[in-house]
Amino acid sequence: MSCFSLLCGRKGSSLSAQPTEADIDLSSFKNINLYTYKELQIATERFSPANKIGEGGFGSVYKGKLRNGTMAAIKVLSAESKQGVKEFLTEIEVISSIEHENLVKLYGCCVERNQRILVYGYLENNSLAQTLVGGGRSSLHFSWHTRRSICIGVAWGLAFLHHEIEPHIIHRDIKASNILLDKDLKPKISDFGLARLIPSNITHISTLVAGTAGYLAPEYAIRSQVTRKSDVYSFGVLLLEIVSGRCNTNRRLPAEERYLHTRAWDLYEKGELESLVDSSLGGDFDVEEAIRFCKIGLICIQDSLQLRPSMSTVHDMLIGERDVNEKMMSKPGLLFDFTEPKDQGKQKGKVEEVEVEKTSLLAMTGSEKKHDLESSSLSASTGSYATMTFTSICDRSN
Ligand SMILES: Nc1ncnc2c1ncn2[C@@H]1O[C@H](COP(=O)(O)OP(=O)(O)OP(=O)(O)O)[C@@H](O)[C@H]1O
């Protein structure tokens, strides 16, 4: 048994008289709830497939009942996400100290047996991807009032990460599958801070994640330029998805409706934004408010990150405490309207993978000059732009 497992096994007990290096590491993390592997094994019935509730880019997620009776979502991080225990725990200490009603609570972790396992509060109603925008397999009904509350809640949670935490946290992966819903359909943002747990040479977001491409701000996807404004872009896409009840990309639709970003902009220019609102609401919504939400979405997804508002401004606009300034509204920056599946004949229901060559990436932006992009992408430190694999999960069912 390793030092880690010994230590994890005696949570709360005093350390041995002659601490090893590993002892010292762990003893300095007093504020972290450390779970033993055995405890999590019992909670998940030996990580039984029956308790597996999801699989993401970071690893598998299991539902489990902790010793104190609390339900938890137990995320077993995959091999790529392994890093030194000290670095890992440093991040965990920060993340688990963050509390907000619109953020999923990290209870603690397990670092035993070379495992990295995160233990989160369990959310009863799955993610927005599984219920509202991912293909309608859910029986849940999302009224306009509920959608409005979800948009405002997510904006508030994100504004908290951006403006209330010091140093601020950029989520980097805001999307429908990272918005979980509790029993009352209150939204909670998951996976915040996780990007920092992944070694920098592993580009989880840009290369490994399924279904993310439509949420990526162009400057982030092309130049790895990560700012709070790239989260604002992703939030704008999500906002349009919640209002319209559809995924941001659906290649089964006619060309002019395929991408939510351009669809919303076209309708805005024609003064017909109302028709973007989900038809399943049967017209039962506040028209003025829904149009305002669509405009806020469009303001967030502008190509120029300087023109995108901060998340606290977005929140204030959503609740009507701040006017939506249409003067600062310009065409959306769109990452991938040029992409087409390599194999159009893939089976329905299968994930489509689209390889995007660098030249295509360079061709896709609206306002930026081609040669500027080329030089910046070539000088990017990871040099990982030669090919990117985008997977469009929404195309399966919408
Ligand atoms: N705290 C939680 N409560 C309930 N279910 C959860 C929780 N966390 C994750 N899940 C479930 O597990 C699934 C996978 O989650 P995970 O965050 O690992 O991946 P993802 O967000 O779907 O994809 P990616 O890792 O690419 O962002 C989620 O879609 C959700 O159904």
With beta carbons less than 8 A apart as the criterion, state whether 198 and 355 touch: no
Residue 115: predicted pLDDT: 87
Q: What is the pTM of this model?
A: 0.81
Residue range 237-296, pLDDT digits in tens: 999 999 999 999 988 899 899 999 999 999 999 999 999 999 999 999 999 999 999 999
For residues 61-84, average pLDDT: 88
Is the preceding omega at residue 167 within 30 degrees of 0, hence cis? yes
Per-residue pLDDT band for 114 (boundaries 50, 70, 90) equals confident
Helix axes 260-270, 287-300, angle to 10 degrees: 120
Task: Please indicate whether residue 77, judged by its CB atom, sits closer than 6 Å to ligand 1.
Answer: no
Tokens in use for 315? Answer: 């929140």
Task: Please indicate whether residue 127, judged by its CB atom, sits closer than 6 Å to ligand 1.
Answer: yes
Compute the Cα dihedral for 229, 180, 397, 61 and give only its sign.
Answer: positive
What percent of the chain has pLDDT above 90? Answer: 56
List the one residue out of 309, 278, 270, 263 whose CA is nearest residue 163. 309
Tokens in use for 309? Answer: 């508002």
Task: Please indicate whether residue 193, judged by its CB atom, sits closer than 6 Å to ligand 1.
Answer: no
Tell the burial category of 50 from Cβ atoms under 10 Å away from its Cβ (0-12, 13-18, 19+).
exposed
Q: Where are the alpha helices (DSSP H) in 114-227?
A: 128-131, 144-163, 218-223
Residue range 120-147, pLDDT digits in tens: 999 999 999 999 987 656 789 999 999 9
Q: 75 C-alpha vs ligand 1 centroid, how far in Å?
A: 8
- Which residues does 28 contact at the CB level (< 8 Å), separation at least 6? none
Per-residue pLDDT band for 19 (boundaries 50, 70, 90) equals very low
The SS3 assignment for 79 reads helix
Task: Please indicate whether residue 134, judged by its CB atom, sits closer than 6 Å to ligand 1.
Answer: no
The SS3 assignment for 283 reads coil
Q: 284 C-alpha vs ligand 1 centroid, how far in Å?
A: 31
Give the bridge partners for 120, in sequence order.
73, 106
For residues 103-116, average pLDDT: 92
Cβ–Cβ contacts within 10 Å for residue 132, how many? 29
Residue 361: predicted pLDDT: 33
List the one residue out of 15, 220, 1, 24 whose CA is nearest residue 114. 1
Q: Is the pLDDT of residue 337 over 50?
A: no
For residues 323-333, average pLDDT: 89
User: What is the C-alpha to C-alpha distance for residues 355 and 105, in angstroms, rounded to an integer?
Assistant: 36
Task: Please indicate whether residue 209, judged by its CB atom, sits closer than 6 Å to ligand 1.
Answer: yes
User: What is the C-alpha to C-alpha distance for residues 117 and 105, in angstroms, rounded to an integer?
Assistant: 14
Task: Please indicate whether residue 76, judged by its CB atom, sits closer than 6 Å to ligand 1.
Answer: no
Q: Higher-confidence residue: 227 or 382? A: 227
Q: 194 C-alpha vs ligand 1 centroid, how far in Å?
A: 12
Task: Please indicate whether residue 180, judged by its CB atom, sits closer than 6 Å to ligand 1.
Answer: yes
Residue 112: predicted pLDDT: 86
173 counts as catalytic: yes
φ and ψ of 118, to 5 deg: -105, 140
75 belongs to an annotated ligand binding site: yes
Q: Which of 23, 25, 173, 191 is catalytic?
A: 173
Residue 198: predicted pLDDT: 59
Q: What is the layout of strands, in order, in the sheet containing 59-65?
A: 52-56, 59-65, 71-77, 117-121, 106-110
Tokens in use for 144? Answer: 């306009």
For residues 182-192, average pLDDT: 96
Rg (CA), the chain: 22
Q: Determine which residue's CA is closest to atom 20 belonging to ligand 1.
A: 56
Residue 39: predicted pLDDT: 97
Residue 270: predicted pLDDT: 97
Q: Is the pLDDT of residue 375 over 60?
A: no
With beta carbons less than 8 A apart as the criterion, state whether 366 and 333 touch: yes
Q: 276 C-alpha vs ligand 1 centroid, how far in Å?
A: 28
Most confident of 12-26, 122-136, 378-392: 122-136
The SS3 assignment for 92 reads helix
Residue 213: predicted pLDDT: 80
Q: 54 C-alpha vs ligand 1 centroid, how far in Å?
A: 6
Q: Determine which residue's CA is closest to atom 14 belonging to ligand 1.
A: 54
What percent of the chain has pLDDT above 70? Answer: 71
For residues 339-347, average pLDDT: 40
Per-residue pLDDT band for 25 (boundaries 50, 70, 90) equals low
Q: 324 C-alpha vs ligand 1 centroid, how far in Å?
A: 33
Give the bridge partners for 52, in sequence order.
62
| Residue listed under structure tokens 């209002």 | 243
Compute the Cα dihedral for 382, 61, 354, 395 and give only its sign.
Answer: negative
Give the bridge partners for 62, in sequence order.
52, 74
Q: Is the pLDDT of residue 93 over 50?
A: yes
Helix axes 311-318, 287-300, angle to 10 degrees: 170
The amino acid present at 281, given as its one-letter code, is L
Q: Determine which residue's CA is closest to atom 7 belonging to ligand 1.
A: 73
With beta carbons less than 8 A apart as the criterion, state whether 189 and 157 touch: yes
The amino acid present at 117, given as its one-letter code, is I
The per-residue pLDDT of the chain, averaged, comes to 78
- Substitution candidate for ligand 1 out of 60, 76, 127, 179 with most atoms within 8 A of CB: 127
Residue 138: predicted pLDDT: 77
Task: Please indicate whether residue 56, judged by its CB atom, sits closer than 6 Å to ligand 1.
Answer: yes
- Which residues does 286 contact at the CB level (< 8 Å), separation at least 6? 144, 148
Ligand 1 atom nearest to CA at 204: 26
Per-residue pLDDT band for 57 (boundaries 50, 70, 90) equals confident
Per-residue pLDDT band for 82 (boundaries 50, 70, 90) equals low
For residues 355-379, average pLDDT: 31
Q: Higher-confidence residue: 327 or 246? A: 246
With beta carbons less than 8 A apart as the criterion, state whether 178 and 57 touch: no
Q: Determine which residue's CA is closest to atom 28 belonging to ligand 1.
A: 54
Residue 139: predicted pLDDT: 83
